[in-house]
Amino acid sequence: MTTGYDRREFLRLGGIAGVAFASGLFSTAGARAQAADFHFVQFSDTHWGYAGAANPDAAHTLEKAVATVNGLASQPDFIVFTGDLTHTTDDPKERRTRLARFKEIVSALRVKDVRFMPGEHDAALDRGEAYKEFFGAPYYTFDHKGVHFIALDNVSDPAAKVGDEQLAWLAADLKQRKPDDRIVVLTHRPLFDLYPQWDWTTADGAKVMELLMPYRNVVVFYGHIHQEHHHTTGHIQHHAAQSLIFPLPQAGSQPKRGPLPFDAANPYRGLGTRDVGVSPASGYGIKELPVAKA
Ligand SMILES: [Fe+2]
């Protein structure tokens, strides 16, 4: 697989993957006039600090993915990390050591516009205290070339809730949007009940979806489940990314949630990052990127 970004290929792959949105997604002339084609890269679930049999290369996988993204022929406008930057630890000092080392590794990215958000491994044990020391607010918005991005925190609360305060903040932000504004939601956990038995849900995700539903052009990119996954609720699409540490099985496909065994013949199977192309004419195109060039 090539790692260069090519517009024709993006459209083609988007079509094959069934995730190229209808051209009507960006439906108004106003939206078209404001928009420009661009792409961004999503990293997720890097789990820096993990040590175990599911990835004997854990100390180097993130560095390899950074090198691969740095080698893209067309550099993305920005990069997002959708949580679980580090692997969980009970030791607050070790948590900070891992966050610091993670930050150091990703500082090698050529693209300097990098957005972070926490996963429950980073933030659930101290309600995001250490995470905030390194990366600031766990939820925020930003705008890029006519698209409104909303990063939501559904991990700092150990009960997996977005919480009333953030819901009120989200409602106030959405009030400023027009019904056909293009909105991308970034978050760690799925906002729908993908498989609550394995903690693949957000306790008050239904409240988030209720707030988003009136907006016609919303798409969600998330992580947490360590595999590519596509789902639609109403008119809103949800796209889960692969991880960079170990793949997890499909929901309910085995009795317990646990890493898929390491395959020495194919060490990066099921791992990678993702390039997301944004086009006013054709919507979003997703291209999964390998950890390292073959
Ligand atoms: Fe994770």
d(CA 193, CA 16): 26
Question: What spacing in Å lies between the alpha carbon of 180 and ligand 1's midpoint?
Answer: 33
pLDDT score for 28: 38
Pairing of β 217-222 and β 147-151: unpaired
- Token pair belonging to 255: 């009795």
What Rg value do the Cα atoms of the chain yield, rounded?
Answer: 18
Ligand 1 center from residue 115 Cα (angstroms): 17
Across the chain, which has 294 residues, the per-10-residue mean pLDDT values are 40 37 36 63 98 96 98 97 98 98 98 98 98 98 96 98 98 97 97 98 98 97 98 97 98 95 94 94 89 82
Distance in Å, CA 40 to ligand 1 centroid: 21
Q: Which residues, by Cβ under 5 Å, contact ligand 1, an ion?
A: 45, 84
Q: In this structure, how many other beta carbons lie within 10 angstroms of the beta carbon of residue 283?
A: 22
Ligand 1 center from residue 243 Cα (angstroms): 7
Distance 113 CA to ligand 1 centre (A): 23
Residues ≥6 apart with Cβ < 8 Å to 16:
none
Q: Is 23 helix (H, G, I), strand (E, B) or coil?
A: helix
41, 57, 97, 122, 290 from 62: Cα distances, Å: 14, 9, 16, 16, 12
**What residues are paired with 286 via a beta bridge?**
276
Distance 87 CA to ligand 1 centre (A): 8
Give the per-residue pLDDT at 8: 43
For ligand 1, the distance from its centroid to the CA atom of residue 191, given in whole angstroms, is 15
Centre of ligand 1 to C-alpha 121, Å, is: 7
Ligand 1 centroid–CA 226 distance in Å is: 6
Dist. CA 84 → ligand 1 center (Å): 5
Supply the pLDDT for residue 182. Answer: 94
How close is the Cα of 100 to the center of ligand 1, in Å?
A: 18
Q: 119 CA to middle of ligand 1, Å?
A: 7
Say how many Å lie between the CA of residue 261 and the centre of ligand 1: 16
pLDDT at position 31: 43
CA of 168 to the centre of ligand 1 (A): 27
166 φ, ψ to 5°? Answer: -70, -35
Query: Hey, what's the torsion of the CAs at 245, 251, 255, 258, to 10 degrees?
Result: 10
Cα of 290 from ligand 1 centre, angstroms: 18
> Phi then psi for 118, rounded to 5 degrees?
-85, 160
Ligand 1 centroid from CA 289, angstroms: 18
Residue 253 has a CB neighbour count (10 Å cut-off) of 10
> What's the 42 CA to ligand 1 centre distance in angstroms?
14
Residue 44 Cα to ligand 1 middle (Å): 8
Ligand 1 mean position to 122 CA, how many Å? 10
What is the per-residue pLDDT for 294? 63
What residues are paired with 183 via a beta bridge? Answer: 148, 218
